[in-house]
Structure 1
Amino acid sequence: MLNKDREKTESKKLKKELDVLNKERRRLNRELSTLKLIISEINSTLNLNRVLDLIIQKGIQIVEAERGSLMLFDHRKEELYIKSSVGLNKRTVSAVRIAPGEGIAGWVFKEGKPLLIKKGAKDPRFKKFEEEEEELKSIISVPLKIKNKVIGVINADDKREGDFFSIGDLNLLSTFANQAAIAIQNAQLHQEVKQQAITDGLTGLYNFRYIKSRLEEEVKRAQRFEHYLALIMADIDD
């Protein structure tokens, strides 16, 4: 009798554990399907600014964050700056300049590791940029990497409904960031190739192909609106 009761208890326990595993599997499948759709949308454009805006918009969407920012590294000034954001005021966006290792985002950039912090404003690495800035309850910061080279950071602040971010959220945003970094690289390469096609490699000035194309556009515009068109050319070799 005792053995039967024990078997019944074990059976219920196993069934409960199996239900939990199946629920987790379904959740992961939903997340992967969502990620696939989002990455497909991001990869549908090669306009760099559009790609960056989509990345931060979709990034905070998948982890249900209140606010977020995408930071890129300025090699000339050797600092991180906010390139695109959601939910941040313009003054904060303009003010934020972070050196590698400074603050939470700077630490993530320097170490190349994702970070999940509960009670973010209490963390010693947290840096406040505005006096009226809200106290952050929870923060996720993940690196944007291309072949082990960190090019920037995605930050997500405060989960909606007052909850804290979880390890699952951290892993999800990290996976997303890996794909997002590739999209950024593709858009940057496209922009470079496009720029090289219309500029002189030596001087950096627009080449004849670009001038001819723009001149044709302006001639058509002048004809359409019946305006005069003037063209000034100067030889600056001397």
Structure 2
Amino acid sequence: MAVDMSRKGDIEEELKSLKDVLSVAQVVVSSLDLDEVLQNILYSAMAVMDMPAGSIALYDEPLGQLSLHAHAGLSDQFLDRYRWPVKDGSMIRQVLDAGEVFCLENVGSSNGVDDGLVLQEGIQALVAVPLKIQNKIVGLICLDDFAPRTFTERRLNILSILASFAAMSIDNACLHQRTHHLAVTDGLTGLYNQRQFRLMLKEEMVRARRYGKPLTLIMFDVDDFKAFNDTYGHFKGDQALVAVAEILRESMRECDMVFRYGGEEFIAILPETGLEVALTAAERARRSVEEKSLDYLRGIAERGLTVSIGVAAYPEDGLDRDALLHVVDALLYKAKREGKNRIYHQKPEV
């Protein structure tokens, strides 16, 4: 009878383990958003091991480095290290190459930790789980406790199964992210495309109306681009567009959004920005293209490029998306008709 009861207890424990694995798997594969996937994986792993802290880093194989993408329960000082190289012979290198769950129940009594930040953080016990698909290293889960402890085989087994689901889920999310990026960006310049511009302008105008904030559009057109193409060829013309895109990206503020609108036209959304500030930004961009484009095109062309610019502000120049686009487009072509390499905006009525 005692044997039967013991067997019953083992079966119940196995069933509980299977339920835990199923529960974890459902959470891990429930999203394709990479940030959400990583956070779900981390919290699931922490729950499985009953650990108060942890992190997930993704592995960049060409660079041979890890980058932190999800974390919980760790100090700002510890998190300052966003990227770090995986050095040959290091503990992390050995863990990644072995591809198995690695644990230290008492960091203080082990010589296996070669990371000063781990010791400085006061971590006393840790579990490191490589995330691999076949021979490809995806990343690393690290779970931490601030006191020595014992890890049960049952929990480690569940964590190992979780890591398998996690690696597949992360790989799928990364693929989804890359696919989405291709759908919303211009293949030549890497800027957002016109489709994404229209979506983001709609969102920004809703915000501007809701909170009573200004918003400005700056539209750019490369001057005499057809002549440039005819002189140097379409391949070098493409290189010229890439150069202009890079100069515009560098000259605008971090909060501004620059898009390739089509052909040789670019457009920028400046959220929460009035006309005067936008005109200053437009002049900075115009001057940057004029002064820097020849350096970007050295060895490609004997002359640099200039841009004509139109600037339109919400709400003064239009109360909806189409009205604002109509105004900024008209102002751009006025700049081109009246001399090029200049900026036009609507003068406020007195």
TM exceeding 0.5 = yes
- For residues 194 and 136 of structure 2, the distance between their equivalents in structure 1, rounded to whole angstroms, comes to 37
Is it true that 1:156 corresponds to 2:133 in the alignment?
no
What is the match of residue 81 of structure 2? Answer: 95
Alignment length, in residue pairs?
222
Is it true that 1:44 corresponds to 2:22 in the alignment?
no
- Return closer, same or farther for 1:219/1:86 CA change in 2, 3 Å cut-off: closer
Is it true that 1:63 corresponds to 2:49 in the alignment?
yes
What is the match of residue 65 of structure 2? Answer: 79
2:57–2:139 Cα contact (<8 Å) kept: yes
SS of 2:159 mapped into structure 1: helix
What is the match of residue 9 of structure 1? Answer: none
SS of 2:165 mapped into structure 1: helix
Is there any run of 5+ residues in structure 2 with no aligned partner, and where?
223-240, 242-304, 306-350
What is the match of residue 6 of structure 2? Answer: 20
Is it true that 1:133 corresponds to 2:121 in the alignment?
yes
Does 1 or 2 have the higher relative contact order (CA < 8 Å, sep 6+)? 1
Deviation by residue 1:47-77 (Cα, 9 ceiling, x = unmatched): 2111111111110101112322212113454
- For residues 122 and 103 of structure 1, the distance between their equivalents in structure 2, rounded to whole angstroms, comes to 18
TM-score by length of 2: 0.56
SS of 2:180 mapped into structure 1: helix
1:144–1:152 Cα contact (<8 Å) kept: yes
Larger Rg: 2
Is there any run of 5+ residues in structure 1 with no aligned partner, and where?
1-14
What is the match of residue 11 of structure 1? Answer: none
- Measured after TM superposition, the shift of residue 144 of structure 1 is 0.7
- For residues 146 and 76 of structure 2, the distance between their equivalents in structure 1, rounded to whole angstroms, comes to 21
What is the match of residue 216 of structure 1? Answer: 202
- RMSD across aligned C-alpha pairs, in angstroms? 2.6
- Opposite residue 58 of structure 2, the aligned amino acid is L
1:142–1:177 Cα contact (<8 Å) kept: yes
1:101–1:110 Cα contact (<8 Å) kept: no
- Return closer, same or farther for 1:103/1:158 CA change in 2, 3 Å cut-off: farther
* Percentage identity across paired residues of the two chains: 29
Please, which moves more after superposition, 61-70 or 36-45?
A: 36-45
Task: Please list, as runs of the form range in 1=range in 2, the aligned pairs for 1:125-204 lying within 5 A after superposition.
Answer: 125-130=112-117, 132-134=120-122, 136=124, 138-158=125-145, 163-204=149-190
TM-score by length of 1: 0.80
- Opposite residue 213 of structure 1, the aligned amino acid is L
2:51–2:143 Cα contact (<8 Å) kept: yes
- Return closer, same or farther for 1:49/1:135 CA change in 2, 3 Å cut-off: closer
Is it true that 1:114 corresponds to 2:88 in the alignment?
no
- Measured after TM superposition, the shift of residue 183 of structure 1 is 1.4
- For residues 77 and 197 of structure 2, the distance between their equivalents in structure 1, rounded to whole angstroms, comes to 38
1:145–1:178 Cα contact (<8 Å) kept: yes
